[in-house]
Structure 1
Amino acid sequence: MPRVPASHRLTRLLALSAWVTDNPGVSIKEAAEHFGVTPAVIERDVNTLWVSGLPGGLHGDLVDFDAADFDAGRLRLAEPLGLDRPLRLTRQEAISLLLALRVLADLLSDDDASAAVLSSTQRAISALLTTGAPVDDAAARAGFSSGPVADHHDHSGNPGRTAQVLAAVRSALQDKRRLHLAYVSATDTRSERDVDPITLESDGSHMALVAWCLSAKAERSFRLDRIESVQVLDVPAIRHRTSRAKKRHDTSRPEGDRPRATLTLRPTGRWLVEQIPCISQKETTEGGLKVVVEGRDRTWLIGLVLSVGRHLIAVEPDNLAQDAVDAAKQALTWYDTNSEGC
């Protein structure tokens, strides 16, 4: 039986208290039917809530259900600790949530089920913001209105392909199955490989599958829009022994194991440390940062240098900077050559 994500249970736990408050004395069986789970799951949820609450764990610090009702198979809250009240957002929090929804709408534009939920959620929050008063300037500048989410398009060059890839990846994650990918890297290198999926991640711009690559014998990240084709194999995925946290932050490995670069950033480039794990970082006198990053390979570091662009002051080693310059010139030459026939 597939393992239910912890986020699903957390959502149910948060909703259960408010629902029981609106339905005092409801039976455990009715609660199970409402949330689409078994009575045993509801009982386990109540037992979890019973030991949840404020620090200290003393009387009055924890969520409390009526014990007599519970023994009789019914649910009634004696001390909800505020979990019976709906969440109240400030206008700024609502605007921030709308901004996050816009990002998610772009990332999941090819997933019909997600797009429908995002659209209805944005309409609901926009309606709350616009009730009795105009939307804040910040929301207006962000392009929000009380209407539905704007139409989005597949950016992979093949309409609908990303949706199919996302569906296959989700299926493999849920059923713990191995995947066969045809993938095109950032350097336009095509490869085919079998991978054991680990999780889906987003950097705010793209969704990526994090998986154990059997060819590389290491953990790799695959952007969904760069996956040309995907096949769920009838082979169980294996859980490989690797710690993602250690992999990203371990500084004890030999320096020659993976290539490193030292980047001196302008103050406008401080965003880099929020998106890329850094071995070390140091403030500069000009308000910028001097960071040490570790790349998957030399090509990855060159791509990073090019992406940081105008935010860079210096790059070490010098030959990495020269390689980035050569790559940029080659790209411009290719563009000039191919644009002549347009």
Structure 2
Amino acid sequence: MARPSSTDRLLRLLALPAWVSEHPGASLAQAAAQFGVTEDQLRRDVETLWVSGLPGGTPDVLVDFDADLLEEGRLRLTTPLGLDRPVTLTREEATVLLLSLRVLTRLLSAVPGATAPLHRAEQALAQVLGVSPQAVTVTEDPVTTAVTRALAEGRRLHLVYASATDERSERDVDPFEIVSDGSHLSLKAWCTRRRAERTFRLDRVLEATVTARPVAPHRRLRGQGLERLAHRPETETASLHLAPAGRWLVEQAGCDKVEEHADGTLTVTVRGRSRPWLVGLVLSAGRHVLDVQPSSLREEAAARARAALALWQDGPQQAAAGTR
């Protein structure tokens, strides 16, 4: 028996609240027939939605159904949290999504079976837009092209990289893989200058050149967070108090300690590779940071943010001059 598709279930979970909103009081049997599943599976879907919602997980921010009516085998939404409205895309949003699918298809072209669902989604979007998939073109990104080629051929890369604090550097790296945190694509690689594993956001790579040298074998420390490789006595640590939506930083930065609070916020301890690196981390977290310790780090990050804002307010010409 074929294993149920997690993608199909996700689409069903997204569509079910809107359908129930249009058919209040419908029976489980009717809903199951609509979505082509059994009543038991439909009930499990409702139970999953029941514990889904906004960050925090308290009852007032979770999707809710009428429990008494469900006991009778019927469905009615009481707290839809906006899921009762079908998701719609503007033409501009659909075009951006189509372009993103084309980029992902290229990145995953070497992974068996990875591109088939992307092609199906691409064709569906193109049909919605009323164009052929080939009508929407993607400009080749030389950085992405070089990185994917180096990965495919097992060759070393020469990078020109701009850090979060806009410090430029050149380095040779042996690429491991391309990963995503949901917002950015990054390259995990062995940095020959630091002699350690590092992560490089692709949107901060200014130039990428594939060299003739093959990658060397390296021992990777998996599941420990890239920044844990920098645990030297002289490294500095910082404590960040994060809003619930800042949880992404825990996975991206590799925290030494994570403390969760009843209100959904977190206090994390991060060990930095350098003081400028910590300042860049605080700035990249933006509105998700509620407090920073030590206070000297907080003040330095605030000063950098004020300086950047002043350059922006002074106009494009001065801002461009200030970043040279």
* TM-score normalised over the length of structure 1: 0.55
Spell out, residue by residue over 1:249-268, the C-alpha distance to the aligned partner (whole angstroms, 9 max, x if none): 859945x3432211122344
1-side partners of 2:14 and 2:103: how far apart? 24
2-side partners of 1:186 and 1:108: how far apart? 27
1-side partners of 2:137 and 2:306: how far apart? 31
Greater radius of gyration (CA): 1
Partner of 1:325: 302
Contact 1:179 1:194 survives alignment (8 Å): yes
For residues 113 and 187 of structure 1, do their structure 2 counterparts lie closer, same or farther at Cα, with a shift above 3 Å needed? same
Instruction: Say yes or no: does 1:303 pair with 2:280.
Output: yes
2-side partners of 1:220 and 1:120: how far apart? 32
Spell out, residue by residue over 1:217-252, the C-alpha distance to the aligned partner (whole angstroms, 9 max, x if none): 222222223323222222111012331334548599
Partner of 1:189: 167
Could you tell me the percent identity over the aligned residues? 37
Partner of 2:179: 201
Contact 1:123 1:146 survives alignment (8 Å): no
- More deviation in 103-112 or 173-182? 103-112
Contact 1:197 1:211 survives alignment (8 Å): yes
Partner of 1:234: 212
Q: Secondary structure at the match of 1:278?
A: coil
Instruction: Say yes or no: does 1:92 pair with 2:11.
Output: yes
Instruction: Say yes or no: does 1:166 pair with 2:144.
Output: yes
Indicate the RMSD between aligned Cα atoms, in angstroms: 4.3
Instruction: Say yes or no: does 1:217 pair with 2:165.
Output: no
In structure 1, stretches of 5+ residues that fail to align are 1-80, 128-143
1-side partners of 2:241 and 2:135: how far apart? 40
**Counterpart residue identity of residue 302, structure 1:** V
Spell out, residue by residue over 1:304-334, the C-alpha distance to the aligned partner (whole angstroms, 9 max, x if none): 2223333333211111001111101111122
1-side partners of 2:123 and 2:317: how far apart? 49
For residues 239 and 102 of structure 1, do their structure 2 counterparts lie closer, same or farther at Cα, with a shift above 3 Å needed? farther
Structure 1 residues 1-342: aligned runs within 5 Å: 81-82=1-2, 89-90=8-9, 92-93=11-12, 109-110=102-103, 113=106, 120-122=119-121, 145=128, 160=140, 162=141, 164-246=142-224, 248=226, 253=231, 256-339=233-316
2-side partners of 1:122 and 1:145: how far apart? 11
Spell out, residue by residue over 1:184-230, the C-alpha distance to the aligned partner (whole angstroms, 9 max, x if none): 22322222221111111112222222111112222222222332322
Spell out, residue by residue over 1:13-36, the C-alpha distance to the aligned partner (whole angstroms, 9 max, x if none): xxxxxxxxxxxxxxxxxxxxxxxx
**Counterpart residue identity of residue 232, structure 1:** V
Contact 1:111 1:166 survives alignment (8 Å): no
2-side partners of 1:253 and 1:298: how far apart? 14
Contact 1:182 1:191 survives alignment (8 Å): yes
In structure 2, stretches of 5+ residues that fail to align are 16-87, 110-114, 320-324
For residues 229 and 118 of structure 1, do their structure 2 counterparts lie closer, same or farther at Cα, with a shift above 3 Å needed? farther
Spell out, residue by residue over 1:54-112, the C-alpha distance to the aligned partner (whole angstroms, 9 max, x if none): xxxxxxxxxxxxxxxxxxxxxxxxxxx436x988824635859x99x999856565578
For residues 307 and 324 of structure 1, do their structure 2 counterparts lie closer, same or farther at Cα, with a shift above 3 Å needed? same
For residues 245 and 168 of structure 1, do their structure 2 counterparts lie closer, same or farther at Cα, with a shift above 3 Å needed? same
When the two structures are aligned, how many residues end up with a matched partner?
236
